[in-house]
Structure 1
Amino acid sequence: MKILIVKTTSMGDVVHAVPVIADIRKHFPEAKIDWLAEDVFADIPRLTKGVDEVLVCSVRKWKKSLLNSETRKQISALKSALRQKKYDLVIDLQGLIKSAVLASWTHAPVAGYDRSSIKEPLASFFYHSKFSVSRQLSAVERCRSLAALALGYEIPSDAPQFLFQFTEQKSEAPFVVFYCNTSRETKLWPEDYWIELGRIISERGYRILLPWGSEAEKSRVERISQGIGSTSCVLPRMSIGELMNKTSGAKAVVGLDTGMTHLSSAMGIPTVGIFRDYPIELVPLMGEAKKKALGGVGSCPSIEKVAEAFEEVLS
């Protein structure tokens, strides 16, 4: 059987879909499983055991230059590649019009959420098989449920498995990674809170590493690093794969409700998540290591609470 998983974006959403691979492998060990993802997030399925091939799209870039000849050439090439794969089933775990259109380019049967379950109801018109999945389930369980319904198996009773395979990087000095940046201002934690937390953790003998992904994010972590002092370090800009390898050696991660925080927890690193504008129960931290999520909609966890949670996940 040849299966294509469509889960293109964003980073957290891609991470939440990863356990589907282990579920499918358990029931169809000989299946060929491919994954279609946005180019910037493609490292996540590439570093997931059980994914045979990752196909890449660039919808975010394409939308800005639809009339450009290079854009049309890339779209045509992807359409051709998807058709040539001759998939037996495509599972659209995204549930958006853009993902449904991408899935339709395969010319294969497509399974997805029904109108009552999906994010964008119009997308369901592209599906050959439609399934009802409660929107009250967590993001991970929604993905697992849809894949199980589409392929006709029972969801495994064990915990979700994130089968990442990365090159762990050891460091002589123990370090903690702070993920201080996110795509929405409403998710941010005050910079002076990060500085004080960094000082507290530094006193425990840890070095603080600060990643970033844009110039605005770089400026933010530079200010935080300056406030913490010499025990902190602003990392160079890295790809997701490079960050996965770097973060794999961390003693712990403290981060906002952002993709790299969820990814770190799923990788099995002790993680503290700071939530400010989204229900924790819908996007819980997953993974085998200790983890603690604080906050929620309209919340701003205190420095003391986050510091206590840090001690808890390391205990």
Structure 2
Amino acid sequence: MKLSDLESPSILIVRLSAIGDIIFATPLIHAIRQRYPGARISWLVQAESKGLLDCHPELDRVIVWPRQEWETYWKQRRWLRLWRAIRQFRGELRASRFDVALDVQGLMKSGFLAWLSGAKRRIGLGSREGSQRLMSQVIAKGGEPSRIASEYHYFAQLLELPVNDFEMHIGLSETNRSLADAWIAAKGLEHGFIAICPFTTRPQKHWFNSAWNELLAAIEAHWRMPVVMLGGPGDKASSAAIDQGQDGLISMVGETSLGQAAALIKRARLIIGVDTGLTHMGIAMNRPTLCLFGSTRPYLDTGHENAEVIYHPRICSPCKRKPTCNGSFDCMRDITVAEVMQRASRLAGLELGVM
């Protein structure tokens, strides 16, 4: 099915969050641009993820949904003020005269915003929570589950978009590049460093702090290479259990914006992380990346020779949001430091002695 009968349509992509899911969906921008070179492509996103899209070379506009403002009015029961804010935002959206809105999140909130845009054609990917009633067309999720970004690849195929170069992309501003370069020089990391991304939203996706500390000791013993630990402001408390005076560890947890973290990842010799947006960012940046997956398994095929997944499924895998192991998280416990070091050495081209 064709996305549009117009050669230069105005298209709105709606994917509000989360970091990893937005990264997975970015190939849609290039696919649309290839099929419709004159299209005006906009993306509607939450404020905290805006930095992932600001510098994408094929995206015309990033629109921020003022979620916090709306939620504040809702909690305060300021209904009139909420209605005015919604009406104002609707006017801003409709001024762009969108021909097509693609709701690739499929939730009620994203479907409502796609409907609010005024786009005559609204196509939802796996729409649920009642959002399907706000779509003019719904496409069920499909594709090969083990392949990275497969549901968006499948979606693009059904929309008759070219998928021959379906790659994730994060643009970097010159400011963030310069900041990363200056920071690397100040820390004496010009000869290379490893980035680790240990933090995520749910405990069942975490590798154990003791394992991270053991890994840091192994990296120091075998490679004597500095390690930069990345994470968001909400991860600072958790980072204390890993940052225990390890030689060569530099914690940047909560110290960078998304764009700055991306610029550092682009310069890293190797990225090791759990199922979190920063880890997926390593693959998007085409850097050697080792992913440690357990309760969730967003993909097994990274689509890149320099990126691999360690995943030891059990009979309950993947449990996603409903673990049945009473907090033992054995699927993550099965990932050993020796295995991580061996796989990492191959990806990054680092020699490894006897473990």
TM-score, length-scaled by structure 2? 0.78
* 1:293 partnered with 2:309: yes
AA matched with 1:162: M
Q: 1:110 aligns with which of 110, 122, 126?
A: 122
SS of the residue 2:271 aligns to: strand
Q: 1:230 aligns with which of 242, 247, 253?
A: 247
Shift of 1:24: 1.1
Shift of 1:289: 5.8
- Alignment match, 1:79: 90
Return closer, same or farther for 1:277/1:119 CA change in 2, 3 Å cut-off.
Answer: farther
Shift of 1:288: 4.3
Aligned 1:5-44 pairs, distance under 5 A: 5-44=13-52
Shift of 1:136: 5.2
Equivalent pair of 2:142/2:150 in contact (CA under 8 Å) = no
Equivalent pair of 1:9/1:37 in contact (CA under 8 Å) = yes
Unaligned runs of 5+ in 1: none
Equivalent pair of 1:256/1:275 in contact (CA under 8 Å) = yes
- Alignment match, 1:143: 152
Shift of 1:211: 2.0
Q: 2:171 aligns with which of 157, 160, 165?
A: 165
SS of the residue 2:331 aligns to: coil
Distance 1:209 1:87 in 2: 43
The sequence identity of aligned pairs, in percent, is 22
Distance 2:308 2:210 in 1: 21
Q: 1:178 aligns with which of 196, 201, 206?
A: 196
Aligned 1:244-263 pairs, distance under 5 A: 244-263=262-281
AA matched with 2:341: A
Shift of 1:164: 2.8
Q: What is the root-mean-square deviation in Å for CA atoms of aligned residues?
A: 2.3
Aligned 1:82-93 pairs, distance under 5 A: 82-93=93-104
Deviations 1:106-156 (A, max 9, x none): 11121113xxxx252521111112223426545612123324434xx2542
Paired positions, count? 304
Shift of 1:72: 5.4
Equivalent pair of 2:265/2:285 in contact (CA under 8 Å) = no
Distance 2:47 2:111 in 1: 18
Return closer, same or farther for 1:245/1:287 CA change in 2, 3 Å cut-off.
Answer: farther
SS of the residue 1:223 aligns to: coil
TM-score, length-scaled by structure 1? 0.88
Give 4+ residue runs of structure 1 displaced > 6 Å after superposition: none
Deviations 1:254-306 (A, max 9, x none): 10101111112111111111112013xx4346464601111253512111111
Distance 2:55 2:296 in 1: 28
SS of the residue 1:294 aligns to: strand
